Amino acid sequence: MNDGRAPGGQALLFLTDEQLRKGIEAMFFAYRGFTADPDRILDERGYGRAHHRAVHFISRTSGTTVNNLLSILGVTKQSLNRVLRTLIEDGLVESRVGKRDKRERNLFLTDAGEELERALSDAQRERMKAAYREAGPEAVQGFRAVLEAMMDPELRRRFNRLKDDVS
């Protein structure tokens, strides 16, 4: 008997081009909303989204190496060095020589860096919390599944490792 499931147990889902287009547009507008509050905070300091991403992942993986941060962010060394130089000069990030490998630099947020990260994250957390509350638990689970399914396999593995580090 055909129960509407594809091989592997996943239900078939057929979307029209119009439904997909609306989903793409919703992602654009949601991203704009998600970044609006942090963008205002960053703009006051003369920073951009690259600074936000660096601060976020240094906070998330305190003591991370520059090479690991390069891998997480997927940016060029030159681009990351420009961002890190600014954050270090402004007293938000501290770079320490590695304990195991003296060639490595380990990155930590200073108290001022943690304060900035908290302000940026709080703004996004509040927006996410309100959206999740409005959408309900099933939508939250579905949204998370969609986001993870959109990730390239290597990025999904990296995301899952980060997720596991907190658990």
d(CA 118, CA 127): 14
Residue 141 inside a domain? The answer is no
Domain count, the chain: 1
User: Would 99 be classed as within a structural domain?
Assistant: yes
Is residue 129 situated within a structural domain? Answer: yes
Q: For residue 36, is it within any domain?
A: yes
Task: Establish if 84 belongs to a structural domain.
Answer: yes
What is the per-residue pLDDT across 132-156, written as a single tens digit (0 to 9) for each? 999 999 999 999 999 999 998 888 8
| Average pLDDT value for the chain | 89
101 in a structural domain? yes
CATH number at residue 86: 1.10.10.10
Cβ atoms of 109 and 58 within 8 Å: the answer is: yes
Residue 127 lies in a domain: yes
Q: Which domain holds residue 82?
A: 26-135
Q: Are 106 and 65 in contact (CB under 8 A)?
A: yes
Tell me, yes or no, whether 142 lies in a domain.
no
pLDDT band for 4, please (50, 70, 90 cuts): very low
Q: What is the pLDDT of residues 54-96, one digit of tens each?
A: 999 999 999 999 999 999 998 999 999 999 999 999 999 999 9
Instruction: Provide the pLDDT for residue 118.
Output: 97
Alpha-carbon distances, residue 93 vs 55, 56, 106, 115 (angstroms): 8, 11, 10, 11
